């Protein structure tokens, strides 16, 4: 049971008082604490009134129209990392935030020459492009694609063609991403037509086999029954070559055409006709720079403590939702906060709010590897990536991508609470309640953007991402301004601004409130996990054949759920403790200890409830559950291996691919069977501390993402060891390191 704070005069106070609760004491009007009976109550009531006031002034000042105008300006730039066009976009944002009045505006540049590495991450080259055109010349003549009409029709980092262009026969190579696709086919000096990812097709067809160029006609990501090539047959997918200094001289060109166009070309080829294409590309590869633009609103009392708002500026023109929407909204949040401060409606935050526009992933890695001291300043971060979607057109839901279990944090519940408050603020109220068509959800860590780099254990800053997902038009030429919603922008702007202001101004009382909220929500999550476990276990015994093998599977499922309750309880307790970084006081420490005791006691009660469920299932005479499970060879090995990291930062998949060669195909194959494998391996790496065994790491990851194959985990660690990223030591007895 949740404990309440207690005041001798007023009696028990709710652990959390929020404006939406409508709580007052002794009938004091909201914001008027003159009748409150004690200073503790007065402070809570004053804080409640202030929070309500912040909600109102943010809603009044923050404009979806203004945000969308910023977004539209950004869509005019072809914002490819390390390119001349990206630089132009940086200059535009810099000019705007200078007018807004942000502090400490600077652009830092990092070498991108195809040679330099930041941790394991390689760099690409710089790039500029003026124009490009692809024409069909046989069996008929017509334009297929022009860069000036559809910028995404040209593979990024395509190289210049010789004067007069290139005319060559077309050959279909299927996916074009493996050696088997080229068996019996001569592609030298031909243009290949492929359905695979452009980077891999270029490596196989152009770099290895001397093809003249590449044409692709498929979406980079398809989702069954939602986003398939047949759903948007006229879309050109965002595809890139991503060359480095080693293969620079072999790089040629590539075009991304629509599936409808690709099918027409294949129809010619199947009929036995000779198909010739003509390509002209005016582009250039050269050494470049990754540019990171930062600015701030300086803190009034604790300027050396910072809260981060980050958004990636890169991606092809127009890239309206991905990610002009995040960058434009970041500009609008900055404008809103500065307008409120300069008008006197809001004080400067206690801590510094840091704004950052950068090239996705590569920018974060370059920054964090060069400036490791950043981790000492940053308390928390919010990543804005694809936030402006018109949900009905894009079939999207606003998702909070939480911190991984390797870095539990109060931040998850804070931001999700802000999402609820945004709906309260913007939904229409009618006689029968509220009308809301705006979807939002909380999801376990997914990754895929810059919050992954800040949250990785080398840096260890709790960072969430606010993202509209899925998006039917993601990474295609159809990601245009008509898909951007002013309503989405203002709601997400409200969420981000309210969340960063809460952390930026947090003192002892706010830290207590955050701890209490995290405990309350944690209790629900532990209970939900037991309910889910119960459903899975009862469903298992309903299976028609209860064989010995089925009994062993049930026993393993029971073991898994027991472990999950322990792990999740520990995670929730750690999330409560994470508020301690906001304030160092004896009162807060005592309060946090109370909340932790509550969640741990609840975890024990729920574990007992799970045992009662297991006893009920075991009493069924038709269910054959073995008393003990024989340890497999893989389980025994995982139990004694203690991995140690020999690198920093996240692992660049291209680095692993280059180092492992053909053996890396295993990792791609596993992803097809276990869609969470990349998330699991991300947190496996985070959890390597030289103390935990691989089994202990697997327990945490399995509680987070679902059961994990011992064979897969061992193979992954073995490959890391093979390429020098980890070392092993073994232990003779099991020690528990939570």
Residue 659 lies in a domain: yes
- HEC assignment per residue over 382-426: EEECCCCECHHHHCCEEEEECCCCCCCCCHHHHHHHHHHHHHHHH
pLDDT of residue 4: 35
Same-domain pairing of 649 and 515: no
Same domain, 577 and 465: no
Q: What is the pLDDT of residues 658-673, one digit of tens each?
A: 999 999 999 999 998 8
Q: Is residue 383 situated within a structural domain?
A: yes
Shared domain for 49 and 22, answered yes or no, is: yes
For residue 691, report the phi and psi dihedrals to the nearest 5 degrees. -120, -40
Bridge partner residues of 6 (DSSP): 12
CA 224, CA 574: separation in Å to the nearest integer?
A: 37
pLDDT of residue 443: 96
Decide which of 501, 530, 546 is a domain's last residue. Answer: 501
pLDDT (mean) for 396-409: 98
pLDDT over threshold 50, residue 501: yes
Q: Where does residue 395 fall: left (phi above 0), alpha (psi -120 to 50 degrees), or beta otherwise?
A: left
Least confident of 183-187, 308-312, 507-511, 728-732: 728-732
Q: How far is CA 522 from the centre of its chain?
A: 22
The model's pLDDT over 166-220, given as tens digits with 9 standing for 90+, comes to 999 999 999 999 999 999 999 999 999 999 999 999 999 999 999 999 999 999 8
Residue 219: count of CB within 10 angstroms of its CB? 23
Per-residue pLDDT at 48 exceeds 70:
no
> 426 Cβ partners below 8 Å, 6+ apart?
59, 438, 487, 490, 491, 494
Q: How many domains does the chain have?
A: 5
DSSP string, 596-627: HHHHHHHHHHHHHHHHHHHHHHHT-TT----S
DSSP state letter for 171: E
**Same structural domain for residues 521 and 485?**
no
718 phi and psi, to 5 degrees? Answer: -60, -40
323 and 186 in a common domain: no
Cα torsion angle, 298, 300, 303, 305, sign:
negative
How many Cβ atoms from other residues are within 10 Å of residue 244's Cβ? Answer: 18
- Cβ atoms 438, 390 nearer than 8 A: no
Q: Which of 501, 521, 540 is the endpoint of a domain?
A: 501
In the three-class reduction of DSSP (H, G, I as helix; E, B as strand; rest coil), residue 642 is classed as strand
Choose the final residue of a domain: 30, 59, 88. 59
- Please state the rounded mean pLDDT for residues 39-58: 60
Q: Is 182 left (phi over 0), alpha (psi -120 to 50) or beta?
A: alpha
Greater pLDDT, 737 or 238: 238
Helix (H) or strand (E) holding 440: strand 440-443
Residues 53, 73 within the same domain: no
- Is residue 443 domain-shared with residue 547, that is, in the same domain? no
Sheet holding 397-401, edge to edge: 103-112, 288-297, 351-358, 302-312, 378-384, 463-469, 397-401, 440-443
Give the tokens for residue 682.
């991300």
Reported as a single tens digit per residue, the pLDDT across 677-716 is 999 999 999 999 999 999 999 999 999 999 999 999 999 9
Residue span of the structural domain in which 558 resides: 508-618
Residue 405's pLDDT is 97
On whether residue 736 sits in a domain, the answer given is: no
What does the angle CA 162 – CA 165 – CA 166 come to, to the nearest 5 degrees? 100
42 confidence band (pLDDT: 50, 70, 90): very low
Is 50 exceeded by the pLDDT of residue 127? yes
| For residues 420-425, average pLDDT | 94
Q: What is the CATH number of the domain that holds 545?
A: 1.10.132
Domain of residue 199, CATH code: 3.50.30.30
The dihedral of CA 209, 281, 91, 70: what is its sign?
negative
Q: Is the dihedral of CA 390, 394, 395, 400 positive or negative?
A: negative
CB neighbours of residue 464 within 10 Å? 25
Q: pLDDT at residue 737 above 90?
A: no
pLDDT tens digits, one per residue of 300-331: 999 999 999 999 999 999 999 999 999 999 99
When pLDDT is cut at 50, 70 and 90, the band that residue 620 belongs to is confident
- Residue-wise over 39-51: b if at least 16 C-beta within 10 A, else e? ebbbebbebbbeb
The CATH number for 441's domain is 3.40.630.10
38 Cα distance to chain centroid: 44
Looking at the fold, whether 461 and 568 belong to one and the same domain comes out as: no
Q: What is the 3-state secondary structure (H, E, C) of 220-286?
A: CCCECCCECCCCCCCCCECCECCCCCCCHHHCCCEEECCHHHHHHHHHHHHCCCCCEEEEEEEEEEE
Distance CA 241, CA 124 (A): 10
Q: Which of 286, 285, 309, 289 is nearest to 297 (CA)?
A: 309
Q: Is residue 47 part of a domain?
A: yes
Please report which confidence band the pLDDT of residue 431 belongs to, taking 50, 70 and 90 as the band edges.
low
- How much is the pLDDT for 624? 78
Average pLDDT over residues 498-502: 98
Average pLDDT over residues 228-247: 95
- Say yes or no to pLDDT of 488 above 80: yes
Kindly tell me if the per-residue pLDDT of 35 is higher than 90: no
Q: What is the per-residue pLDDT for 540?
A: 87
406 and 472 part of one domain: yes
Does residue 641 sit within a domain?
yes
| pLDDT at residue 50, rounded to an integer | 55
Residue 441's pLDDT band, with cuts at 50, 70 and 90, is: very high
Whether 526 and 588 map to the same domain: the answer is yes
Is pLDDT above 90 for 549?
Answer: no
Task: Round to whole Å and give the CA distance between 717 and 667.
Answer: 12
Residue 735 lies in a domain: no
In this structure, is residue 367 part of a structural domain?
yes
Same domain, 568 and 671: no
Task: Calculate mean pLDDT across residues 352-357.
Answer: 98
CA torsion, points 208, 213, 214, 215, in degrees to nearest 10?
-170
- Average pLDDT of 422-451? 88
Q: Which of 7-21, 75-89, 119-133 is the least confident region?
A: 7-21
Average per-residue pLDDT in the chain? 91
For residue 573, the Cα-to-chain-centroid distance in whole angstroms is 24
* Residue 628 forms part of a structural domain: no
Cα 14 to Cα 3: distance, rounded to the nearest angstrom = 9
Confidence of residue 734 (pLDDT cuts 50, 70, 90): very low
Q: Please give the pLDDT value at position 51.
A: 55
pLDDT at 627: 81
DSSP 699: H
Same domain (yes/no): 146, 90: no
């Amino acid at each position: 049971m949740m404990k309440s704070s207690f005041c001798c005069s007023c009696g028990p106070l709710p652990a959390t008082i929020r404006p939406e609760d409508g709580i007052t004491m002794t009938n004091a009007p909201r914001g008027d604490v003159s009748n409150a009976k004690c200073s503790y109550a007065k402070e809570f009531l004053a804080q409640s009134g202030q929070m309500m006031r912040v909600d109102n002034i943010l809603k009044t000042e923050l404009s979806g129209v203004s945000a969308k105008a910023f977004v539209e300006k950004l869509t005019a730039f072809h914002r490819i990392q390390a390119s001349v066009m990206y630089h132009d976009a940086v200059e535009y944002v810099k000019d705007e935030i200078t007018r807004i009045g942000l502090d400490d505006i600077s652009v830092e540049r990092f070498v991108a020459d195809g040679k330099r590495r930041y941790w394991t991450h390689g760099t690409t080259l710089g790039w500029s492009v003026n124009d490009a055109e692809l024409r069909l010349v046989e069996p008929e003549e017509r334009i297929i694609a022009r860069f000036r009409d559809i910028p995404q029709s040209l593979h990024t980092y395509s190289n210049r063609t010789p004067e007069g262009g290139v005319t060559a026969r077309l050959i279909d190579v299927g996916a074009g991403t493996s050696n088997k696709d080229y068996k019996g086919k001569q592609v030298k000096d031909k243009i290949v037509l492929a359905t695979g990812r452009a980077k891999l097709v270029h490596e196989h067809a152009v770099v290895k086999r001397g093809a003249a160029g590449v044409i692709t006609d498929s979406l980079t990501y398809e989702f069954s029954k939602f986003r398939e090539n047949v759903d948007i047959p006229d879309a050109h997918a965002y595809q890139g070559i991503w060359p480095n200094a080693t293969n620079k001289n072999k790089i040629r060109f590539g075009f991304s055409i629509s599936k409808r166009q690709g099918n027409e070309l294949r129809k010619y080829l199947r009929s036995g006709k000779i198909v010739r294409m003509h390509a002209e590309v005016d582009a250039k590869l050269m050494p470049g720079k990754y540019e990171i633009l930062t600015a701030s609103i300086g803190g009034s009392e604790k300027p050396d403590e910072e809260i981060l708002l980050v958004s990636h500026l890169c991606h092809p023109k127009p890239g309206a939702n991905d990610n002009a929407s995040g960058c434009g909204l970041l500009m609008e949040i900055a404008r809103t906060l500065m307008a409120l401060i300069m008008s006197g409606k809001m004080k400067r935050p206690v801590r510094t709010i840091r704004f950052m526009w950068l090239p996705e992933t590569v920018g974060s890695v370059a920054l964090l590897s060069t400036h490791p001291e950043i981790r000492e300043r940053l308390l928390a971060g919010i990543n804005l990536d694809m936030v402006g979607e018109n949900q009905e057109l894009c079939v999207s839901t606003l998702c909070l991508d939480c911190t991984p279990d390797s870095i539990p944090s109060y931040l998850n519940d804070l931001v999700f609470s802000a999402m609820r408050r945004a709906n309260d603020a913007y939904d229409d109220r009618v006689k029968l309640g509220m009308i809301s068509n705006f979807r939002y959800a909380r999801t376990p860590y997914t990754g895929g953007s810059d919050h992954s780099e800040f949250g990785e254990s080398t840096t260890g800053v709790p960072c969430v991402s606010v993202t509209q997902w899925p998006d039917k038009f993601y990474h295609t030429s159809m990601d245009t301004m008509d898909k951007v919603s002013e309503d989405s922008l203002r709601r997400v702007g409200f969420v981000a601004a309210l969340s960063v202001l809460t952390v930026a101004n947090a003192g002892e009382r706010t830290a207590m409130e955050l701890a209490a909220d995290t405990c309350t929500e944690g209790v629900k999550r532990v209970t939900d996990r037991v309910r889910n476990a119960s459903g899975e276990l009862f469903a298992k015994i309903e299976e028609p054949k209860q064989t010995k093998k089925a009994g062993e599977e049930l026993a393993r499922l029971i073991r898994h759920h027991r472990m999950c309750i322990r792990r999740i309880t520990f995670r929730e307790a750690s999330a409560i403790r994470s508020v301690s970084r906001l304030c160092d006081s004896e009162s807060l420490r005592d309060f946090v200890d109370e909340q932790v005791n509550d969640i741990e006691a609840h975890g024990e009660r729920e574990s007992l409830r799970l045992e009662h469920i297991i006893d009920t299932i075991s009493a069924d005479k038709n269910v054959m559950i073995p008393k003990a499970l024989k340890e497999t060879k893989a389980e025994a090995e995982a139990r004694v291996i203690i991995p140690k990291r020999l690198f920093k930062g996240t692992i660049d998949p291209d680095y692993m691919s280059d180092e492992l060669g053909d053996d890396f195909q295993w990792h791609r194959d596993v992803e097809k069977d276990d869609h969470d494998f990349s998330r699991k391996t991300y947190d496996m790496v985070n959890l390597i501390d030289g103390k935990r065994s691989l089994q202990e790491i697997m327990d945490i990851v399995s509680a987070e993402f679902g059961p994990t194959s011992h064979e897969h985990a061992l193979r992954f660690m073995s490959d890391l060891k093979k390429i020098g990223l980890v070392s092993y030591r073994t232990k003779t007895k099991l020690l528990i390191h939570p």
